[in-house]
Chains A and B, each alone.
Chain A
């Protein structure tokens, strides 16, 4: 259902943006993904070869790993560097209220009542979208 409105948009995404999307897709799923699965996941009419090239580039940067024991050709995200990043992030952001003030956070807090309203919204949206 989602992403159907975005077919044919792939041409307008830059190589760097596609790299981010592939990396995000790998992190979002629990298991390793093959290029074909990634192609299906991010959609937007992306060519298989493009996905392959992007994965190669991410691999060269050490951001993804080839799945050694699993299915051939599957990739998974490199966890070690990301764990160090998480450590640094928590050190930087959790020190006090000040440092965070300058940042753009995607979302902030919710009250219990707001939470209920958003849950209803998602439920309604899902039903309509299905």
Chain B
């Protein structure tokens, strides 16, 4: 008989600060949008996109599938929060309170050790952005999205909204109406970045929304690893995250896009990510989802050139009160395209994990290969784990294999470990870490350690 102890929520992500803000906006109206745009001193073409998006937002319906989103009431959500200071490129210049939070999350330390550049967003605005001088000299641009609109308008115009259209769905329309902050990365032709860039998104205010926009262009033959981290302290009010990531991986280019998401358990995480990959280009998605109350996240990859590749590695961990609905979409639109999907989920304490995939092999994508593998681990019978994959195959000359498994931790394995003197709780942790290992291996070492720590934290109190 298992007894349940409430989740321990004393981790570093739960640091709360009381900020004073220069400006806040609540709700989504034409006036709010105009004020945000004015505040940011944006050009008219950007305001036009925001207003067009608002029209779509008002017209589009909530999705008729997936988790219940009726709780979201934009009238109650703080849609724009501007901290008092401007964005800086020296940690010393970041205000003390905010700096303390990022210090505790280990961001400056990671920058020193292993990163080529760092961006840090606090609520609606980026507060810090820095890229190594050496990379700047090679023509690498890594800045916040608002700065990119002002300093590289032609580049932004060429790509912005081109991967994810403003009318894709209701929440992306909301995003384009309210977007603020986020990162812009441009890696010129042939430039290979050995150290990853990292953007960290922190949503501090209760009842607030975060709508950052990340746009990454990896030119021909270039290579980039990008890490995205997200966290927020827990509050009773509902927080909302509706970010957008647009990725362009050109011919022969490579992009590894890693995300560790540990939003607080009061967060509605409705993120949209899409990548276009050119001939012989490759994208690797690595995702770890631990936080959020409700998450709907299905990164999309369009393999547009011959021999383009996609690898997708994902782990979701849903605990008490969490409904994590995630997966991916892939379109094969070239010959010899290949996709490998490896998704794992763990649910416990009534948590719901749903894996959804949409795979479309178009009629021109002959000699394509796809391999889909999803595994779910249930730690109790209060939880739920659903696998809902849709495959649309329009070409006869492909190889496609799909397999999914659902299972529990074997009593024999626990018994074996316990007979070796390991406690039941530690045995379960060992088995879950083993289950997650193929995914954690894909993360840089610091993040793999962090992920294992998060798994341990999530399993705290499972056995009594």
- Decide if A and B are genuine partners: no
